[in-house]
Amino acid sequence: MRIRVAIGLVVALTGTSPVAMAQSDDDKARRTVEIELVAGTIVRAVMARDIETLLSYVRPEALDEARRGLTKPDSDLACALFDTECLQRQLSAGEVRRRTSVADFFQAHPSLRLRVHYLGMVTFGLESPLDLAMVTWVVPRSDADRKFPAHDLSRFGEDHINTCLVYTSATGWRFYSRGVFFCASGFLREPDGR
């Protein structure tokens, strides 16, 4: 009797059955494994300056712009991904000079921890809440690691690097932003304090 009441309470409070919740957990685990594989490929591509592999994760409508940004050595995108000195030259006088390129961050921190936070919402027209994810490489035991996903996004390149990936059945996982790697800030809301 108590078990039936408990199951009924779970269904009433969550609006889903225990079977649906287990399916959702399985979907999340499967998606996380997919993202871990993509994230490994992205790290290798950034470290090797493998532009073609990076472009394979760009959404089709942003491909030409991303290609131009990656192939021009002093572009904002190329500097941010591959060259800290170039990135520093592009900062305005008032900006903090501790910014590091993605490649140099990966090089300096070979034991990064990968964290995934799903951001999908119906309002984005996604097929599933698991179709939009912030993928973050954090320095173990750093502030970003302890506070994830409520970490300080302004510390990008100090204790974490993140990107956002979107999934569609037609294209698979792709960078969410127009181009390569970086998250568009318009959809990021204040993360909860988990």
- Express each pLDDT in 103-148 by its tens digit: 999 999 999 999 999 987 755 678 888 999 999 999 999 999 999 9
Instruction: Tell which wins on pLDDT, 136 or 14.
Output: 136
Strands (E) in the chain, as ranges, are 113-118, 132-138, 160-168, 172-175
Residue 47 and residue 103 in contact, taking contact as beta carbons nearer than 8 Å: yes
Q: Please compute the mean of the pLDDT values over residues 21-50 and round it to a whole number.
A: 90
Q: Contact at 8 Å (CB) between 140 and 153? A: no
Q: Tell me whether the omega of the peptide bond preceding residue 129 falls within 30 degrees of 0, making it cis.
A: no
pTM of the entire structure? 0.79
For residue range 68-115, list pLDDT tens digits in order. 999 999 999 999 999 999 988 887 776 666 778 999 999 999 999 999
Quick check: 179 pLDDT over 50?
A: yes
Question: Residue 128's pLDDT is what?
Answer: 86
pLDDT tens figures, 49-62: 999 999 999 999 89
Higher pLDDT, 75 or 180: 75
Q: What share of the chain is helix, strand, coil (3-state, %, to 5)?
A: 50, 15, 35
Parse the chain into domains and list their residue ranges: 2-187
At 37-51, the pLDDT tens digits run 999 999 999 999 999
